Structure 1
Amino acid sequence: MDVPRTVLLVGLAAEVAERLLGGLVGRGFACEGVGYEEGFELLELVPFDAVVASFPFPREIPMTRFMTRLRKRSSACRHAALILLTGEFSRPEAEDLVGRGANLVFPASVDADELARAIRAVTGAAARVPLLALVHVEVRTEQGLRRLVAQCENVSETGIFLRMGQALPVGSTVVFELVLPDSGYRLRGEGTVVRHGIGSRGGQEGIALRFGELGNEARERLASFVGRQSPHAL
């Protein structure tokens, strides 16, 4: 089961954001649309596969400041693709940034289908590797904290697919913990339910979880595990 690629739309005009948000979600992406200030804050905290931003940037948050925050080592989005949407007048300036932090430039009138193809092309799909392991899951509900046990089916650097006897609502935030089998490292973090499915092995219904909060050591350990298992990638 693939974890949907995640896209952050930053600073788009309301009608453009509504059109592209609906179009991308309809094509299987998990998207969020925000203003420049909120987007600036999210870059360091929440990992996205791609950032689609309106260009030029406002004076309060110049492009150089945005780019520095996006690409710095501690940023959760430092490996995200950056796609700029701009008008004809600003396009030459935007295109000068391609290869210097930005990946692609499109007019603001780009349709969702073309943008979706471009995002898939520049992000690729995160390599998923099989991992059969018990996962302890905690989720807060109106009735209080629920503790569940699930089985991991596969994992990537951006998400995990868990098989369990019940489906948690899409959008639920959960805390999870599992042991990486080759090192014994306890991988603990937080993620968001982005999709339901049966998984490649059939059987119980499961959830696709996109990683949110994951410490630097946890990310490094996970990346190392995925790298070692890459000959068995799905």
Structure 2
Amino acid sequence: MSTGNPDRRLARTFVALADTLVADFDVLDFLALLTERSVELLAVDAAGVILSDQRGGWRPAAGSSERADLLELFIAQTHQGPCFDCVATGKAVTSADLSLATELARWPRFAPAALDAGFRAASAVPMRLREQTIGALTLLNHEPVSLDADTIAVGQALADVATIGMLHHRAADRGELLAEQLQATLHQRIVVEQAKGVLAEHDGLDMHDAFTRLREYAHRQQRRLSDVARELAEGTLDPADLGTPLR
């Protein structure tokens, strides 16, 4: 997204997130857009989404980067950390400096893992459907920094619009229940991970570049990311057909 007036960029982001009632809406690409725009608009270094698996657990669904260490951190925070506390309370949770003794004691597994991955600050805002929290948006910074109230409010607004758009589209288009929608999204994420592995092995790519190539091919072909990933994982699509990344 081009640089420019922050208010204009924010407005364009809300339009993109709200515009889900289209035939080719792709939930995984939509969540990837949410994390990428969060990084750009909120001046954070990384962002990720976890969703409820409807069995009492939480699983990562999207990230602003497909770096292996970042994905491992998102997995870790499904058990402990600001994101876990956020979904438990339904309220925003922040930590300005994970290296402090208080934060290391607060999250003895998550805080060291975040520091090892190069992040000193972490915040999370809930993805809410009325009174039910179905996931969370995590915001990470390399430097110790406290996100101000306005930044948290914008992050919460992004998460709210994304939640409404994602679930409204499924309800309007397919009549799916909430539990079915979340299960379908997390299953699609597993297939994307398999497809990334196929591309990484075929072309010697890291996982982030493999995801970029997969996503760009889906955009060029005007197809769902999950459908392309499934064909690649099943072997019905040749990795060589995806070409080279545009970026």
The structure with higher relative contact order (CA 8 Å, sep 6+) is: 2
Structure 1-normalised TM-score?
Answer: 0.26
**Larger Rg computed on CA atoms:** 1
Larger strand fraction of residues: 1
Larger helix fraction of residues: 2
